[in-house]
Structure 1
Amino acid sequence: MPKAGPRPVARLGVRRAAPLRGMWMLGPALVAGVAYLDPGNVASNMTAGARYGYLLVWVVLAGNIMAWLIQYLSAKLGVVTGQSLPEVLGTRIRNRWARRAYWLQAELVAMATDIAEVLGGAVALYLLFDIPLLLGGAITGAVSMVLLAVQTRRGPRHFEFVIIGLMLIIVIGFVAGLFVAPPDPAGVLGGMVPRFDDSGSVLLAASILGATIMPHAIYAHSALTRDRFPARGPGADSRRPSLRTLLTVTRWDVTIAMVIAGSVNLAILLLAAANLAGVEGTDSLEGAYAAISDNLGAVIGTLFAVGLLASGLASTSVGAYAGAEIMHGLLTIRIPLLARRLVTLIPALIILGIGFDPTLALVLSQVVLSFGIPFALVPLVALTAQRRTLGEHANRPLTTVLGVVFAALLIALNAVLLWLVATGA
């Protein structure tokens, strides 16, 4: 007796599950988006709101719009080529010494990012449990090693679940204060008008953008989508969705991630603008925590510190992942993530051990990040505009124009940041 063919009900079930399947493919952008919620962002946005009120609301919004396009281009490169940005550059930069020089600057940027994130976690542990900064930095590094072990042994999906869980804690920690003391709607609307007050506001605007668009997030996102959606090849799963489907899901993924990151960054600025304007000492994480606790209560202050801790733990894990990918892509050297995490933890522990001001170290790390912006942005826009790289999925002319404009603007603002810091303006 012949076997019965597949039942129509089964096919209907597959069709009905398609939207759920699309949701299941979300995740890489949420992991990369944690880079937009690191302690450097907290410090920049908190200081901007405390010093200038609602003046720089427009900067946070503009930065988020630019971040959406940049992160989408990075994700698209990984989805279409099946390679990360460092891998593509590793094959395109033929000169060995040029490739090594490019790797060195990218590696230094990743390490500077990592220092800021470990410092943020150490400060949070000090605020919550009065743990000495050096020990707090060691604990932050140890926990990040556990998170990276999840990625190494359980795969990208489990790593995404952990990071997304930490992102939820970040959202609660940094947004809770707005429900206790909401901002002035008129002030928020007024802050959407682009303007500056003085050189200090320009410096903070550049700091906000510098802390928002970070090179390691660009490198990491292309690798995350590559790992999550490996390209078709011999023996590959034939059920892999089409590139068009993956790119559609990726756009939604990036949109959700950037809405969350942008909303939280805006919430931090608004919280400071509404409640900490003119309060002394809010230019440091410790001072901001004390001011929030004094003005909004101990519960909100504790939630802020918990959010800061989750921020440091999640972002340092993503930073270590990005650094490993940079080395692998450009030098074809694969160092185990946990070993790399141990090595890159040393500079942060040295800074904490010698008693260097953590907030100043955070600011200086943002300056180092500024040097790396052009080296990540320019190749990203150029590669995604090439048909020989992305074929029919290459950027449309308008996308390329926007990418060039955003890259030029970010490079110029970071140059202004470097100049203002150098001149002490």
Structure 2
Amino acid sequence: MSNSLNSTSNSPIKGDSNGIKRLLPFLGPAFIAAVAYIDPGNYATNISAGSKYGYTLLWVILVSNLMAVLIQTMSAKLGIATGKNLPEVCREKFSKETSILLWIQAELVVMATDLAEFIGASLGIYLLFDIPLVFSAIIAAIGSFVILEIQRRGMRPLEAVITAMIFIVVIVFGVQVFYAAPDATAILSGLFTLKFQDVDSVLLGAGMLGATVMPHAIYLHSALTQNRIVGETEEERKKIFKYEFVDVIIAMIIAGGINASMLIVSAALFNKNGLNVSDLEVAFNEFGKILGPFAAICFGIGLLSAGLSSSSVGTMSGDIIMQGFIKRRIPIYLRRFITMIPPLGIILMGINPSKALVISQVVLSFGIAFALIPLIMFTSNKKLMGKLVNHIVTSICAWIIAVLIISLNLFLLYHTFIN
């Protein structure tokens, strides 16, 4: 799973291969982390935003993606510079009691993440094959165990499977955008005109922006880069980071494009026809009515692919979190089984899946500060990071983003539980 840099010509950095071939060994970590940005929770918010406000909130996706690039870059950089993941560094720098508390909240975050992803996969099977939701959940569980078995065979096979699933989502939404025939002028206006229509649009925009950065993706990315290709010197680590940055850019552009496509399709079809759609099952049915069965099938396939791929990433994150914070591990199949219990319970109780997705996003908001603040602290530490330490401008931007995201999540929590 890891490659040590040495003086041989086979080194990904020191070899004679051209730029593209040299880049290939570094591609993958950001694609796995990017799955967190296109999980079923994003489906719910983007479809709702497009149907209610048209293209108006497209700029929120653009801003969210720019934030994601910076945050995931810092996470990848931490793993490269220290050879440790974020939970491991937290364990070293904080007290034992603090590490245990951080581990508990991170496990709750992973469970909330898994709730959204497992329900999304189950809903995708239900919509595609008209199988009762309970049995769809069992099939989704089997699928997630299959992906875990692929993970046991190494990171490269898993990266290939995850990347393939991401591109399935790209293709299905590309097809839907084509059939929806959106207004290109309105798209450009929505991307670059920063505005809201009313108070509800502010709240929805806050939900889109505040729920973009997933805590488990921050923990995970540092683990994916910590031993992948090891630099013996600071100069080698800087070169590794340069290539990993390209990986982040490509993955985040794809994730941002998918999210934008969700909103664009919803705006072009639902908003144009005066439909306010906030339920994924309703969205699936409306796609079938407006564009035909093929478009609805594409939507269901995308939801299923996003759910299955992101569920495996959530399980992997949980394993890294436990090992990093408290130096403990449980069998990954047992972890998968435990994390499936809450969503299965919700499905058995007959709770609306789309509502459960929204609740999971609220729970996720609790964990963002506990991942993001330590990440900025550590990557701004010259002694820890060496030449890969954040530039002062990077640190300032990161703290501004942290304050913005945390404030938005507090705003969402207030409106969810009090107002």
Query: How far apart, in 2, do the equivalents of 1:341 and 1:244 lie?
Result: 36
Matched, 1:61 2:81: no
Structure 2 residue identity aligned to 1:119: I
Deviation of the 1:354 alpha carbon: 0.8
Equivalent residue for 1:251, pick from 221, 245, 251? 245
**CA offset digits 1:349-379 (Å, max 9, x no partner):** 0111111111110000000011111111111
Matched, 1:120 2:120: yes
What is the match of residue 235 of structure 1?
none
RMSD value, Cα: 1.9
What is the match of residue 278 of structure 2?
283
Deviation of the 1:314 alpha carbon: 0.2
Matched, 1:406 2:401: yes
Deviation of the 1:17 alpha carbon: 4.3
What is the match of residue 3 of structure 2?
none
Normalised by the size of structure 1, how large is the TM-score? Answer: 0.92
Query: How far apart, in 2, do the equivalents of 1:186 and 1:19 lie?
Result: 35
Deviation of the 1:24 alpha carbon: 2.7
Query: Would the alpha carbon gap of residues 18 and 54 (structure 1) be closer, same or farther in structure 2, given more than 3 Å must change?
Result: closer
Is the CA contact 1:81–1:231 (under 8 Å) kept in the aligned structure 2? no
Query: How far apart, in 1, do the equivalents of 2:401 and 2:76 lie?
Result: 17
Matched, 1:365 2:364: no
What is the match of residue 164 of structure 1?
163
Query: How far apart, in 2, do the equivalents of 1:14 and 1:375 lie?
Result: 40
Matched, 1:273 2:261: no
What is the match of residue 325 of structure 1?
320
What is the match of residue 35 of structure 1?
36
What is the match of residue 26 of structure 1?
27
Runs of 4+ aligned structure 1 residues displaced above 4 Å come to 278-281
Unaligned runs of 5+ residues in structure 2 are: 1-8
Is the CA contact 1:74–1:218 (under 8 Å) kept in the aligned structure 2? yes
Structure 2 residue identity aligned to 1:170: V
Is the CA contact 1:210–1:369 (under 8 Å) kept in the aligned structure 2? no
Query: How far apart, in 2, do the equivalents of 1:75 and 1:135 lie?
Result: 38
Is the CA contact 2:47–2:277 (under 8 Å) kept in the aligned structure 1? yes
Unaligned runs of 5+ residues in structure 1 are: 1-7, 233-237
Structure 2 residue identity aligned to 1:121: A
Is the CA contact 2:78–2:85 (under 8 Å) kept in the aligned structure 1? yes
> What is the total number of aligned residue pairs between the two structures?
405
Deviation of the 1:280 alpha carbon: 4.2
Matched, 1:229 2:191: no
**CA offset digits 1:183-213 (Å, max 9, x no partner):** 1122122222112122211221122123321
What is the match of residue 352 of structure 1?
347
Query: How far apart, in 2, do the equivalents of 1:400 and 1:302 lie?
Result: 44
What is the match of residue 181 of structure 1?
180
Query: How far apart, in 2, do the equivalents of 1:133 and 1:279 lie?
Result: 29
Superposition map of 1:98-247 within 5 A: 98-152=98-152, 154-191=153-190, 192-230=192-230, 242-247=236-241
Query: How far apart, in 1, do the equivalents of 2:304 and 2:295 lie?
Result: 14
SS at match of 1:293: helix
Equivalent residue for 2:293, pick from 275, 291, 298? 298
Structure 2 residue identity aligned to 1:57: L
**CA offset digits 1:40-95 (Å, max 9, x no partner):** 0111101000001011011000000000000000011111111111111111112x
Is the CA contact 1:281–1:287 (under 8 Å) kept in the aligned structure 2? no
What is the match of residue 3 of structure 1?
none
Structure 2 residue identity aligned to 1:247: F
SS at match of 2:277: coil
Structure 2 residue identity aligned to 1:193: T
Query: How far apart, in 1, do the equivalents of 2:160 and 2:283 lie?
Result: 30
**CA offset digits 1:277-304 (Å, max 9, x no partner):** 1654620110111111111111111011
Structure 2 residue identity aligned to 1:205: G
Matched, 1:315 2:303: no
Query: Would the alpha carbon gap of residues 18 and 184 (structure 1) be closer, same or farther in structure 2, given more than 3 Å must change?
Result: closer
Is the CA contact 2:80–2:227 (under 8 Å) kept in the aligned structure 1? no
**Identity of matched residues, %:** 44
Normalised by the size of structure 2, how large is the TM-score? Answer: 0.93
- Structure number with bigger Rg: 1
Query: How far apart, in 1, do the equivalents of 2:281 and 2:330 lie?
Result: 36
Query: How far apart, in 2, do the equivalents of 1:251 and 1:120 lie?
Result: 30
Structure 1 residue identity aligned to 2:313: V
Deviation of the 1:97 alpha carbon: 2.4
Moved more, 15-24 or 205-214: 15-24
SS at match of 2:193: coil
Query: How far apart, in 2, do the equivalents of 1:143 and 1:247 lie?
Result: 34
